[in-house]
């Protein structure tokens, strides 16, 4: 169980997260939906330790993650596939994967994991010596996922994995997400593509203006309403 409770995070005076609490069950796919500027990416960066929260706590299986460095958080088993992929453009595909395994010291294990990634993402195998900056958007997304998996995370965070990708590639990425989950990885996903996200998610949260405004299972709320609130927010009705 992964638990975020009452997280407040701010950029200067502006509070981006105003007390966010949510739970992600082990072995499930949990999705966080919400309009632009709701604070979804801020939450991901805070969980990964890139941003420090003002207040609140983040726990994985009961162990406190708040205040740890990003490196320590990776070693505790949390890996983030960042928004816009952020591959290392002038390193080969293989080197990107090695960077993902930076904290691991078991050479043999790392090598066999690289082979596993090549088996799961055959396109990365074809391009293993190619510079990551020359890959297509979909390939870079696969590389970013594979790179995060190289640290053998218990919890995989994904921030907008479908951003800027063609519909066919998006479907492929979501197949991969479902597959990773079947193999036992807990996944916590931020998505704009509510339709695709609701198809794979076991559970979802809606976030609006720095707060969680709904949580439930995909069947619980009509998809129309979810999509409406995920894209536009519900404040329209309130005022």
Partner 1 sequence: MDLLDLIDAVQSVADGVLFGATYSLLGIGFTLIFGVMHKINLSYAAASIGAAYASLLVMSVVQAPAVLAFVAAAAAGGVIGGLVYLVGFRFIPLANPLATLMSTVGLLLLIDEIIVHATAGVPLNYPALFSDVIVQVGPFGLRGDLMFVFALGCVCMVVLLLLLYRTRLGLATRAVSQQPTASLLCGISTTRVNVLTFVITGIVGGIAGAMTGAAIGMLSPLLSLPLTVKGLIVTVIGGLGSIPGAIIAGLIVGGLENAFQFFRGVSERDLYIMLLLFAFLVFRPGGIFARSAGRD
- Give the residues lining the site for partner 1 (CB under 8 A): 48-50, 69-71, 74-75, 79-80, 82, 86-91, 95, 98-100, 102-103, 147-148, 151
Least separation in angstroms between residue 34's CB and partner 1 is 22
d(CA 3, CA 145): 22
Q: Closer to partner 1 at the Cβ: 105 or 236?
A: 105
Which distant-in-sequence residues (6+ apart) come within 8 Å of 77 by Cβ?
60, 151, 152, 153, 154, 155
Q: Closer to partner 1 at the Cβ: 94 or 229?
A: 94
Least separation in angstroms between residue 33's CB and partner 1 is 23
SS3 123: helix
Q: Closer to partner 1 at the Cβ: 6 or 106?
A: 106
d(CA 117, CA 125): 8
Q: What is the DSSP letter of 220?
A: G
Least separation in angstroms between residue 220's CB and partner 1 is 33
Q: Closer to partner 1 at the Cβ: 26 or 103?
A: 103
Least separation in angstroms between residue 103's CB and partner 1 is 4
d(CA 53, CA 7): 6
């Amino acid at each position: 169980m992964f638990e975020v409770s009452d997280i407040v995070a701010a950029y200067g005076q502006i509070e981006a997260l105003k007390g966010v609490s949510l739970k992600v069950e082990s072995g499930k796919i949990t999705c966080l939906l919400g309009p632009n500027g709701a604070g979804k990416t801020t939450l991901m960066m805070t969980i990964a330790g890139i941003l420090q929260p003002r207040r609140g706590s983040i726990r994985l299986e009961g162990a406190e993650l708040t205040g740890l460095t990003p490196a320590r958080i990776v070693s505790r088993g949390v890996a983030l596939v960042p928004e816009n992929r952020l591959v290392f453009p002038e390193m080969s595909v293989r080197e990107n994967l090695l960077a993902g395994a930076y904290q691991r010291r078991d050479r043999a294990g790392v090598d066999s994991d690289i082979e596993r990634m090549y088996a799961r993402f055959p396109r990365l195998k074809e391009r293993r010596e190619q510079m990551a900056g020359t890959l297509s958007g979909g390939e870079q997304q696969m590389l970013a996922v594979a790179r995060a998996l190289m640290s053998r995370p218990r919890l995989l965070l994904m921030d907008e994995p479908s951003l800027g990708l063609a519909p066919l590639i998006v479907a492929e990425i979501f197949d991969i997400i479902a597959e990773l989950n079947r193999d036992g990885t807990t996944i916590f996903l931020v998505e704009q593509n509510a339709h695709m996200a609701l198809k794979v998610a076991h559970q979802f949260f809606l976030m609006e203006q720095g707060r969680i405004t709904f949580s439930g299972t995909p069947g619980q709320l009509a998809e129309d309403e979810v999509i409406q609130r995920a894209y536009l927010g519900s404040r329209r009705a309130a005022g």
